[in-house]
A = this chain, B = another copy of it.
Amino acid sequence: MTSEKMVSQIKEWLNEAAGYIQVSLTNKLTVSQKSNRTDLVTNIDEEIQAFFIKKINQHYPNDRILAEEKGFDTIDSLKGRVWIIDPIDGTMNFVMEQENFCIMIAVYEEEIGQLGFIYDVMKDELYWGGKNQGVFLNEQRLTPPKDVGLSEGLLGMNAYMYGKNIYAAGEIGHASMGIRVSGCAGVELIAMLKGSHIGYISNLSPWDYAAGLVLLNEFGYQYSNIEGKPLAFANREYFLAATPTAYTQILENFIRR
């Protein structure tokens, strides 16, 4: 079971992590490549992950952890209580823009999302919520955005999928009011929670979507892999989330046509 105490703790940890990141940005980052030249990791990604792992081990020693950086990026199952963490989501933006990146934390129990936190550090905007508890921006409860169709709104998009028309992403983009590419899953999921964007198509790992799904769920958004099947919480996969109307239009008119 999650609790109010757990929510308070996570907020406190996020706050400490954000303070550390803010100070770190005044120093030189150590940037390394992971799988390719545009897949970056910094010393801060690793230090923030280590910080959260230490806190979780200390307070919840029986819980398990799935997290982006090395040593924690695979898990055998989602049995029991599992924390899913992206210490810095949007590392490229973190390095290049020093903004438009997020910390994301989710708590799952027996495969069901219980708590989700997406923290836009530089804007100091924490979007968070829990199963049947609603969605909040900092301490303010948010209302669900309208269910609008594909042709009526902006769509967050992975640039590569759009450019190569993977799963008709280019055509889907053209059928919308336009695409936006932020380079950060957290920023895109926040745009959906705010009602700025009607959906998001990308290629994501579990730590990119775990927290977001808890919040999208509260607002009645639909999500799945790009073929309409449940997300596997395993490897990177093509991801689709949208308003119920746009989700159905995307699957029926573009993916399954």
Contact = CB atoms under 8 A, between A and B. Distances in A.
Contacts of A154: 92-93, 96-97, 183
* In the A-B complex, the 10 residue pairs with the closest CB atoms: A181-B181, A97-B196, A159-B179, A96-B154, A163-B170, A180-B181, A38-B177, A163-B163, A162-B163, A38-B178
A134 interface: no
Q: Quick one: copies of this chain in the complex?
A: 2
B163 A98 contact: no
Query: Which of A93, A178, A182 has the most CB atoms of chain B within a 10 A radius of its CB?
Result: A178
A159 B171 CA distance: 12
Interface in A91-140: 92-93, 96-99
B183 A182 contact: no
Nearest to A152: B96
A163 B169 CA distance: 10
Contacts of A251: none
Interface string A193-207: 010110000000000
16 contacts: A37-B151, A37-B177, A38-B177, A93-B154, A96-B196, A96-B197, A97-B154, A97-B191, A97-B194, A97-B196, A97-B197, A99-B196, A157-B159, A178-B183, A180-B181, A180-B183
A176 to B, nearest CB: 9
A178 B159 contact: yes
A173 interface: yes
A179 B177 contact: no
A93 B156 CA distance: 13
Nearest to A176: B38
A144 interface: no
A179 B162 CA distance: 11
Contacts of A159: 157, 162, 173, 178-179, 181
